[in-house]
Chains A and B, each alone.
Chain A
Amino acid sequence: MASKLTRSNRAGWLMASPGIALIAAFIILPFFLAFTFSLTNQRLASPNPTKYVGFENYRDLLGLAYFTLEPERDDAGAVVRSADGDIKYPRLRNFTRNNPDYPNLQGKREWFSWQSGENRKVVLASDVVFMKALVNTITFVVVVAPVQAGLALILALLINQKLRGISLFRAVYFMPVVVSIVVVSLLWRFIYSPGDGLLNNLLSALTFGAFTPQDWLGNPSTALGSIIAMSIWQGVGFHMVIWLSGLQTISPTLYEAAQIEGSSKWQTFRYVTWPGLRNTAILILIVITMQAFALFAQIEVMTQGGPLDSTQVLVFQAFERGYGKQDISGGSTISVILFIIVLSVSLLQRWLTREKK
Chain B
Amino acid sequence: MNKTLILSALIAGSLTGSALAQTELSLWYHGAGSANAEEALVNQLVEEFNASQSDWTVVIETFPQLAYNDAVGAAALAGKLPDILDVDGPVMPNWAWANYMQPLGIDESTLEGYLPGPIGRWNGEVYSVGLWDAAVALTTRRSTLEKYGIRIPTLETPWTLDEFNSALETIKASGDFEYPLDLGMAWKGEWYPYAFSPFLQSFGGDIVDRDSYQSAEGILNGDEALAFGEWWQSLFTNGYVPGTSQDSADRETGLLEGKYAMSWNGNWAALPVVEAFGDDVLFLPAPDFGNGSKIGAASWQFGISGTSEHPEGARAFIEFALQDKWFAAFSDGTGLIPVTASAAEATENYKPGGPLEVFYGLSKEQALLRPVTPGYIVQAKVFEKALADIANGADVADTLDAAADEINEDIENNGGYGH
Contact = CB atoms under 8 A, between A and B. Distances in A.
A324 interface: yes
A93 B398 contact: yes
B365 interface: no
The 4 closest A-B pairs by CB, nearest first: A218-B245, A307-B392, A45-B98, A325-B378
Given A93-B397, A110-B398, A325 B377 contact: yes
Interface of A: 41, 43-48, 91-93, 97, 107, 109-110, 128, 193-195, 197, 215, 217-218, 220, 304, 306-309, 320, 323-327
Contacts of B413: 41, 43, 327
B100 A45 contact: yes
Interface of B: 70, 73, 76-77, 94-95, 97-100, 188, 243-245, 247, 377-378, 381, 385, 388-389, 392-394, 397-398, 401-402, 405, 409-410, 413-415, 418
A306 B381 contact: no
Contacts of B397: 91, 93
B381 A324 contact: yes
Contact of B392 (A43, A47, A306): A306
B287 to A, nearest CB: 26
A331 to B, nearest CB: 13
Contacts of B97: 46-47
A58 to B, nearest CB: 15
- Interface SS of chain B: helix, strand, loop or mixed? helix
B191 to A, nearest CB: 13
Contacts of A307: 244-245, 388-389, 392
B401 A306 contact: no
A51 B77 CA distance: 18
B247 A325 contact: no
Given A194-B247, A215-B245, A44 B389 contact: no
Contact of A109 (B94, B398, B409): B398
Contacts of B377: 325-326
- Interface SS of chain A: helix, strand, loop or mixed? loop
A314 to B, nearest CB: 17
A308 B394 contact: yes
Contact of B245 (A128, A217, A323): A217
B381 A325 contact: yes
A47 B401 contact: no
Contacts of B378: 325-327
Nearest to A220: B392
A47 B388 contact: no
B76 A218 contact: no
A45 B247 contact: no
A339 to B, nearest CB: 23
B389 to A, nearest CB: 6
A128, A308, A320, A327: residue with the most chain B Cβ atoms closer than 10 Å: A308
Contacts of B401: 93, 97, 109
A301 to B, nearest CB: 11
Contacts of A193: 247
A220 B99 CA distance: 42
A47 B188 contact: no
A150 B401 CA distance: 45
Contacts of B398: 92-93, 109-110
A325 B405 CA distance: 15
Nearest to A41: B413
